[in-house]
Amino acid sequence: MSSAERLIEATRELLWERGYAGTSPKAIQARSGVGVGSMYHHFDGKAGLALAAMRRSAQELKEMAEAHFSRPGPAGRRIASYLQRERDVLRGCPIGRLTMDFDVVNNSDLRAPLDEVFAWLRSRLADLVAEGQESGEFRAELDPQAVGAMLAAVVQGGYVMARSADTAEPFDAAARGALSLLGLRVPQHA
Protein backbone atom coordinates (compact mmCIF):
# COMPACT_ATOMS: atom_id res chain seq x y z
CA MET A 1 0.00 0.00 0.00
CA SER A 2 1.38 3.42 -0.93
CA SER A 3 2.05 6.02 1.71
CA ALA A 4 -0.92 8.09 0.45
CA GLU A 5 -3.21 5.05 0.82
CA ARG A 6 -1.88 4.31 4.30
CA LEU A 7 -2.54 7.92 5.28
CA ILE A 8 -6.12 7.80 3.95
CA GLU A 9 -6.92 4.50 5.65
CA ALA A 10 -5.41 5.60 8.97
CA THR A 11 -7.36 8.85 8.80
CA ARG A 12 -10.61 7.03 8.00
CA GLU A 13 -10.22 4.87 11.09
CA LEU A 14 -9.25 7.78 13.33
CA LEU A 15 -12.13 9.94 12.11
CA TRP A 16 -14.52 7.08 12.87
CA GLU A 17 -13.04 6.55 16.32
CA ARG A 18 -12.30 10.13 17.39
CA GLY A 19 -13.95 12.56 14.98
CA TYR A 20 -12.18 15.36 13.17
CA ALA A 21 -11.19 17.44 16.20
CA GLY A 22 -9.76 14.38 17.94
CA THR A 23 -7.71 13.30 14.94
CA SER A 24 -4.33 14.97 15.06
CA PRO A 25 -1.63 14.83 12.39
CA LYS A 26 0.58 13.12 14.98
CA ALA A 27 -2.05 10.37 15.50
CA ILE A 28 -2.43 9.95 11.74
CA GLN A 29 1.32 9.57 11.35
CA ALA A 30 1.53 7.09 14.21
CA ARG A 31 -1.38 4.98 12.87
CA SER A 32 -0.17 5.05 9.25
CA GLY A 33 3.53 4.69 9.90
CA VAL A 34 4.11 7.52 7.44
CA GLY A 35 6.21 10.59 8.22
CA VAL A 36 4.98 14.16 8.42
CA GLY A 37 6.70 15.12 5.18
CA SER A 38 4.77 12.50 3.24
CA MET A 39 1.47 13.72 4.66
CA TYR A 40 2.09 17.26 3.43
CA HIS A 41 3.54 16.00 0.15
CA HIS A 42 0.35 14.09 -0.75
CA PHE A 43 -2.31 16.26 0.90
CA ASP A 44 -2.99 19.87 1.76
CA GLY A 45 -2.62 19.32 5.50
CA LYS A 46 -5.07 17.68 7.85
CA ALA A 47 -8.17 19.10 6.15
CA GLY A 48 -7.15 17.83 2.72
CA LEU A 49 -6.34 14.39 4.06
CA ALA A 50 -9.57 14.26 6.08
CA LEU A 51 -11.55 15.23 2.99
CA ALA A 52 -9.96 12.39 0.99
CA ALA A 53 -10.70 9.96 3.83
CA MET A 54 -14.29 11.17 4.18
CA ARG A 55 -14.89 10.85 0.43
CA ARG A 56 -13.55 7.30 0.57
CA SER A 57 -15.83 6.43 3.51
CA ALA A 58 -18.83 7.98 1.73
CA GLN A 59 -18.10 6.00 -1.43
CA GLU A 60 -17.79 2.80 0.57
CA LEU A 61 -21.13 3.49 2.27
CA LYS A 62 -22.78 4.06 -1.12
CA GLU A 63 -21.34 0.86 -2.59
CA MET A 64 -22.43 -1.19 0.41
CA ALA A 65 -25.96 0.24 0.32
CA GLU A 66 -26.25 -0.15 -3.45
CA ALA A 67 -25.30 -3.82 -3.14
CA HIS A 68 -28.56 -4.24 -1.18
CA PHE A 69 -30.66 -1.82 -3.22
CA SER A 70 -29.82 -3.36 -6.59
CA ARG A 71 -30.49 -6.98 -5.66
CA PRO A 72 -33.25 -8.75 -7.51
CA GLY A 73 -36.63 -9.05 -5.85
CA PRO A 74 -39.32 -6.83 -4.42
CA ALA A 75 -38.43 -3.31 -3.27
CA GLY A 76 -39.48 -4.07 0.30
CA ARG A 77 -37.13 -7.03 0.51
CA ARG A 78 -34.25 -4.83 -0.71
CA ILE A 79 -35.07 -2.11 1.83
CA ALA A 80 -35.25 -4.75 4.57
CA SER A 81 -31.95 -6.21 3.43
CA TYR A 82 -30.31 -2.81 3.80
CA LEU A 83 -31.87 -2.00 7.19
CA GLN A 84 -31.08 -5.42 8.62
CA ARG A 85 -27.65 -5.97 7.10
CA GLU A 86 -24.80 -7.10 9.30
CA ARG A 87 -23.11 -4.02 10.78
CA ASP A 88 -21.08 -3.01 13.82
CA VAL A 89 -23.95 -1.02 15.33
CA LEU A 90 -22.13 -0.02 18.49
CA ARG A 91 -19.29 1.48 16.51
CA GLY A 92 -21.74 3.75 14.71
CA CYS A 93 -21.62 5.11 11.19
CA PRO A 94 -18.30 6.48 9.94
CA ILE A 95 -20.16 9.26 8.12
CA GLY A 96 -22.89 9.93 10.67
CA ARG A 97 -20.24 10.22 13.39
CA LEU A 98 -18.82 13.28 11.67
CA THR A 99 -22.13 15.17 11.66
CA MET A 100 -21.61 15.82 15.36
CA ASP A 101 -18.21 17.42 14.77
CA PHE A 102 -18.33 21.24 14.89
CA ASP A 103 -15.28 21.63 12.65
CA VAL A 104 -16.83 19.43 9.96
CA VAL A 105 -20.35 20.85 9.85
CA ASN A 106 -19.06 24.43 9.84
CA ASN A 107 -16.70 23.84 6.90
CA SER A 108 -18.58 23.51 3.61
CA ASP A 109 -15.75 21.54 1.97
CA LEU A 110 -15.57 18.98 4.78
CA ARG A 111 -19.36 18.79 5.09
CA ALA A 112 -19.86 18.20 1.35
CA PRO A 113 -19.21 14.41 1.35
CA LEU A 114 -21.70 14.01 4.22
CA ASP A 115 -24.36 16.10 2.48
CA GLU A 116 -23.84 14.24 -0.78
CA VAL A 117 -24.00 10.72 0.62
CA PHE A 118 -27.04 11.41 2.81
CA ALA A 119 -28.87 13.09 -0.10
CA TRP A 120 -28.04 10.07 -2.26
CA LEU A 121 -29.25 7.65 0.42
CA ARG A 122 -32.56 9.46 0.94
CA SER A 123 -33.11 9.64 -2.81
CA ARG A 124 -32.24 6.00 -3.40
CA LEU A 125 -34.57 4.85 -0.62
CA ALA A 126 -37.32 7.11 -2.02
CA ASP A 127 -36.84 5.48 -5.43
CA LEU A 128 -37.33 2.05 -3.87
CA VAL A 129 -40.49 3.19 -2.09
CA ALA A 130 -41.85 4.56 -5.39
CA GLU A 131 -40.94 1.28 -7.08
CA GLY A 132 -42.79 -0.60 -4.38
CA GLN A 133 -45.83 1.63 -4.88
CA GLU A 134 -45.82 0.99 -8.61
CA SER A 135 -45.79 -2.77 -8.04
CA GLY A 136 -48.57 -2.53 -5.42
CA GLU A 137 -46.25 -3.58 -2.62
CA PHE A 138 -46.62 -0.27 -0.71
CA ARG A 139 -49.64 1.95 -0.13
CA ALA A 140 -50.21 4.55 -2.84
CA GLU A 141 -50.64 7.41 -0.35
CA LEU A 142 -47.07 7.13 0.97
CA ASP A 143 -44.81 10.08 0.16
CA PRO A 144 -41.66 8.36 -1.22
CA GLN A 145 -39.39 11.31 -0.39
CA ALA A 146 -40.62 11.52 3.19
CA VAL A 147 -40.39 7.75 3.67
CA GLY A 148 -36.87 7.72 2.18
CA ALA A 149 -35.85 10.43 4.64
CA MET A 150 -37.48 8.51 7.51
CA LEU A 151 -35.64 5.30 6.62
CA ALA A 152 -32.28 7.08 6.48
CA ALA A 153 -33.07 8.71 9.85
CA VAL A 154 -33.98 5.32 11.34
CA VAL A 155 -30.50 4.05 10.51
CA GLN A 156 -28.65 7.09 11.82
CA GLY A 157 -30.86 7.47 14.88
CA GLY A 158 -30.63 3.74 15.50
CA TYR A 159 -26.85 4.04 15.69
CA VAL A 160 -27.11 6.84 18.25
CA MET A 161 -29.63 5.00 20.44
CA ALA A 162 -27.66 1.75 20.28
CA ARG A 163 -24.41 3.46 21.25
CA SER A 164 -26.15 5.18 24.14
CA ALA A 165 -27.67 1.91 25.38
CA ASP A 166 -24.49 -0.09 24.65
CA THR A 167 -26.57 -2.70 22.87
CA ALA A 168 -27.73 -3.20 19.27
CA GLU A 169 -31.34 -3.78 20.34
CA PRO A 170 -32.53 -0.16 19.89
CA PHE A 171 -31.15 -0.18 16.33
CA ASP A 172 -32.77 -3.52 15.56
CA ALA A 173 -36.10 -2.42 17.06
CA ALA A 174 -36.07 0.81 15.01
CA ALA A 175 -35.41 -1.15 11.81
CA ARG A 176 -38.21 -3.61 12.59
CA GLY A 177 -40.54 -0.70 13.39
CA ALA A 178 -39.79 1.07 10.12
CA LEU A 179 -40.38 -2.09 8.15
CA SER A 180 -43.60 -2.68 10.03
CA LEU A 181 -44.81 0.81 9.14
CA LEU A 182 -44.22 -0.08 5.49
CA GLY A 183 -46.41 -3.13 5.97
CA LEU A 184 -43.55 -5.60 5.74
CA ARG A 185 -43.56 -8.62 8.00
CA VAL A 186 -40.15 -9.22 9.50
CA PRO A 187 -38.93 -11.80 11.98
CA GLN A 188 -38.30 -10.50 15.50
CA HIS A 189 -34.56 -11.29 15.20
CA ALA A 190 -33.92 -10.90 11.48
Domain ranges across the chain: 56-181
Amino acid letter, residue 164: S
Q: Where are the alpha helices (DSSP H) in 3-44?
A: 3-18, 25-32, 36-42
The model's pLDDT over 33-80, given as tens digits with 9 standing for 90+, comes to: 998 788 888 898 899 999 999 999 999 999 999 999 999 999 999 999
Per-residue model confidence as pLDDT tens digits over 133-169: 999 999 999 999 999 999 999 999 999 999 999 999 9
HSE-up of 175 (CA within 13 Å, CB side)?
Answer: 27
- Per-residue confidence (pLDDT) for residue 36, from 0 to 100: 76
pLDDT higher than 90, residue 188: no
- In one-letter notation, the amino acid at residue 73 is G
CATH topology of domain 56-181: Tetracycline Repressor; domain 2 (1.10.357)
User: How would residue 190 be classed by pLDDT, with cut points 50, 70 and 90?
Assistant: very low
Could you read off the pLDDT of 1-25 as tens digits, one per residue? 799 999 999 999 999 999 999 999 9
Position 187 scores a pLDDT of 57
